[in-house]
Amino acid sequence: MTIRARRRHSNNLLLCLFLLLICGTDAVRAETTAEVPQTMPWFTGTLLSTRGTSLGRGHTVVEPYVYYTRYGGLYNDNWRLQSATTSQSLTQQTYFIYGLTDSLDIEIAPQWVGNHARGDSSGGFGDLPLQLGVQAWRSPVQSWVPDVRLWVQEIFPTGRYSDLSPATADLERTGGGAYATAFGIALQKAIPFGGEHVLRYRLNATYGFYSSVAVQGFNAYGGGFGTTGRVTPGSVATVTIAGEYSLTRQFVLALDIGFQTVNATHFSGDPGSDAQGRPALVGRGFSNLVTIAPALEYSWNQHVGVLAGPWMSVSGRNTSEFFGIVAALYLYL
């Protein structure tokens, strides 16, 4: 990224943070003082969705996640699944969330990524996300209007992405090399069904864009021998529909359905060559992905809970097919 581009990127981010603070200051004053029913379940949150309410001043959530994922195919441009080399990844990511005020919280989520395929393994630290969220609206308990939370997230390129070994490039990559800025909105509402049965739904929508990044040789976007140039990753839009239904106060069924659209990656420079001497491929075209993640939550009390379940692709275009298992420990302090 050039110095001018870095300054523009930083200025845009600071402006968005300022706007978030302004819109959250007065809106949260609409909070009701109504008490949450004593029978309210101890929700941990679904596997993939983002919460629609802030934590509150001085509160902390620590949530270690473990993702095991098996990749075994590719969806082509016609949404048809084709076979591909099988690989696995194991990612450990811990979310640290802290309530700065009653309406503002901050989140950081360092991660370690390990990859395995063809009898080889490699791993390292992944990219680092930092998020600032604000409560734009907190709805009265008896109202049908959902809570609304806005956030902005910056991803710092701390993972490995360029100058990778030709034989294990797909295993060595743990990041994208680009700074990423994402904006999101979360709607959330709990609907009682009598007794201990409560349905809580969430609706998330995000949009993220990336800075350009210099690449050499084999890299996270492809490449080959002698590749040199700049890559601009395509912007990413996601929508997540999530729900939690309490069987008892401690046991909760959860479900996430995700939709993702990624615009084409652009490359400028010398693509280099592959092992057969042909021009190397750098980047990927426009892609879509639909995923589903059912889960079971169990909480001992409002402070400690666990959740686990499968996460898998259902359909896609120009992207990887996968099946994974996700497990997390929820600690509310």
Q: Where are the domains of the chain?
A: 3-332
Look up the pTM and report it.
0.86
Q: What percent of the chain has pLDDT over 90?
A: 79
Rounded CA separation 128/175 (Å) = 9
Element (H, E) at 16: helix 3-27
Exposure on the CB side of residue 127, measured as CA atoms within 13 A: 18
pLDDT digits 0-9 by tens, 28-56: 333 333 344 457 899 999 999 999 999 99
pLDDT of residue 170: 87
Q: What does pLDDT average to over the chain?
A: 89
Greater confidence (324 vs 19) lies with: 324
Q: Average pLDDT in the 312-322 region?
A: 96
- Show the tokens assigned to 108: 């950081």
* Beta strand residue intervals within 100-143, DSSP E: 104-108, 111-117, 120-125, 128-137
pLDDT of residue 317: 96
- According to CATH, what is the number of the domain 3-332? 2.40.160.40
Phi and psi, residue 4, nearest 5°: -65, -40
234 Cβ contact list (under 8 Å, min separation 6): 210, 262, 263, 264, 265, 266, 286
Under the banding of pLDDT at 50, 70 and 90, the label for residue 196 is confident
Q: Average pLDDT in the 169-189 region?
A: 95
Rounded CA separation 326/28 (Å) = 33
Q: Average pLDDT in the 248-265 region?
A: 97
Number of H helices, E strands in the chain: 2, 17
pLDDT of residue 3: 42
pLDDT of residue 275: 87
Rounded CA separation 276/269 (Å) = 20
pLDDT at 8 over 60: no
Which residues is 232 bridged to in the sheet? 266
Under the banding of pLDDT at 50, 70 and 90, the label for residue 119 is confident
The helix/strand/coil state of 30 is helix
Element (H, E) at 35: none
Greater confidence (12 vs 124) lies with: 124
